[in-house]
Amino acid sequence: MRGGPLFWLVVILLPGIHFLLRVGFGAGPLAPDFLTLALLLAARELSTTRAAGVGFGLGLLEDAFSILAFGANAFTLTVLAVAGSRTKDLFVGESVSFFLGYLFIGSWLRYAIHWVVAGQEVRRGAGRVLLVEAPLGSLYVAVVGVLLLLATGAVVREAR
Amino acid sequence: MPPYEVDGSEARSRRGLVLSSAWVLASILLMVLPVPVQQGISAALRGTLLAPFLWTQESLSRTRIRAVEIEELQARFDSTVALLATQSTLGAENAHLRALLELRERSGPAFVSASAIRPGTRGSESMFLLDVGSEDGVSVNDPVVAAEGLVGLIREVGPRNSLALDWTHPDFAVSTMTLDAETFGIVEARGGTFREEDRLILSGIPFYTTLEPGEVLVTSGQGAVYPRGIRVGTIFSLAETEAGWRRGYWVTPAVRVGSVTHVLVITGEEGRPVSELTHLWAEPEPELEPEVEPGIEPDPESGPESGLESGLESGLVAGLDAGAGGTP
Q: Which residues are B127's β-sheet partners?
A: B165
Q: Tell me, what's the pLDDT at B247?
A: 85
> From A49, which residue of chain B is nearest by alpha-carbon distance?
B20
Q: For an interface test with B, give the residue of A14, A65, A73, A87 to mutate (most B CBs within 10 A).
A: A65
User: Which sign, positive or negative, has the C-alpha torsion B308, B310, B313, B316?
Assistant: negative
d(CA B13, CA B91): 79
Q: Say if the Cβ atoms of B125 and A118 lie within 8 Å.
A: no
At A59 the pLDDT is 95
Q: Do B45 and A25 touch (CB under 8 A)?
A: no
Instruction: Name the closest residue on chain B to residue A80, using Cα atoms.
Output: B24
Closest CA to B134 of B154, B156, B160: B160
SS (H, E, C) chain A: CCCCHHHHHHHHHHHHHHHHHHHHCCCHHHCCCHHHHHHHHHHCCCCHHHHHHHHHHHHHHHHCCCCCCCCHHHHHHHHHHHHHHHHHHHCCCCCHHHHHHHHHHHHHHHHHHHHHHCCCCCCCCHHHHHHHHHHHHHHHHHHHHHHHHHHHCCCCCCCC
CB A99 within 8 A of CB A149: yes
Task: Encode chain B (328 residues) as per-residue pLDDT tens digits.
Answer: 555 555 667 787 788 888 999 999 999 999 999 988 998 999 899 889 998 998 888 888 778 777 766 777 777 778 888 877 777 777 778 777 877 777 665 555 678 888 888 887 777 788 888 888 888 889 998 999 988 899 999 988 888 888 898 998 888 899 999 988 888 999 998 876 666 667 899 988 888 888 889 999 999 888 778 888 889 999 998 887 766 678 889 999 999 888 788 888 988 765 555 667 766 766 655 555 555 555 555 454 444 444 334 433 443 333 334 333 333 3
Question: In chain A, what percentage of residues exceed pLDDT 70?
Answer: 94
Give the confidence band of A39 by pLDDT, cuts at 50, 70, 90.
very high
Contacts of B2 (CB under 8 A, 6+ apart): none
Per-residue pLDDT, B11: 80
Beta-carbon separation of A28 and B16 below 8 A: no
Greater model confidence, B96 or A51: A51
CA–CA min distance B107, chain A (Å): 35
pLDDT confidence of residue B93: 80
Give the Cα separation of B240 and B185 in Å (integer): 14
Contact B121/A22, CB-based, under 8 Å?
Answer: yes
| ipTM confidence score | 0.91
Output the pTM of the full model. Answer: 0.71
> For B260, which DSSP code?
-
* Model pLDDT, residue B108: 58
Residues of B in contact with A86 (CB under 8 A): none
- Please state, for a pLDDT cut of 90, what percent of chain A lies above it: 63
Q: Which residues of A touch B16 (CB under 8 A)?
A: 47-49
Instruction: List the single residue in B with minimal CA-CA distance to A121.
Output: B170
In this prediction, residue A145 carries a pLDDT of 95
Average pLDDT, integer, range A142-155: 90
Distance CA B161, CA B115 (A): 10
Report the alpha-carbon distance of residue A32 to residue A35 in Å, rounded: 9
Inter-chain touch A71–B30, beta carbons under 8 Å = yes
Do the Cβ atoms of A53 and B155 come within 8 Å? no
Listed residue (B151, B143, B186) closest to B168, CA to CA: B151
pLDDT tens, position by position, A114-124? 999 987 777 77
Closest to A118 in 3D by CA, of A129, A102, A103, A127: A129
Q: Is the dihedral of CA B75, B76, B78, B83 positive or negative?
A: positive
**B155 contacts in A (CB within 8 Å)?**
67
Q: What is the dihedral of CA B283, B265, A67, B45, to 10 degrees?
A: 150
A82: closest chain B residue by CA: B20
pLDDT value of position B311: 38
Give the model confidence (pLDDT) of B270-296 as tens digits: 555 566 776 676 665 555 555 555 555
Pick the residue of B20, B60, B198 with the most A CBs within 10 A to test the interface with A by mutation: B20
Length of chain A: 160
Q: How far apart are CA A123 and CA B169, in angstroms?
A: 12
The domain spans of chain A are 5-152
Chain A residue whose CA is closest to B119: A23
For A23, the closest of B15, B54, B165 (CB atoms) is B54
Instruction: Say what the pLDDT of residue A37 is.
Output: 96
A24 → chain B, closest CA residue: B57
* pLDDT value for B131: 85
Contact criterion met (CB < 8 Å) for A48 and B19: yes
Say yes or no for a CB contact (<8 Å) between A23 and B56.
yes
Q: Which carries the bigger pLDDT value, residue A80 or residue B269?
A: A80
CB contact under 8 A, A72 and B31: yes
Q: Do residues B30 and A56 lie in contact, with contact meaning Cβ atoms separated by under 8 Å?
A: no
A61, B50: Cβ pair inside 8 Å?
yes
Q: What is the pLDDT of residue A72?
A: 94
By Cβ distance, the residue of B31, B119, B165 closest to A70 is B31
pLDDT for B300 equals 47
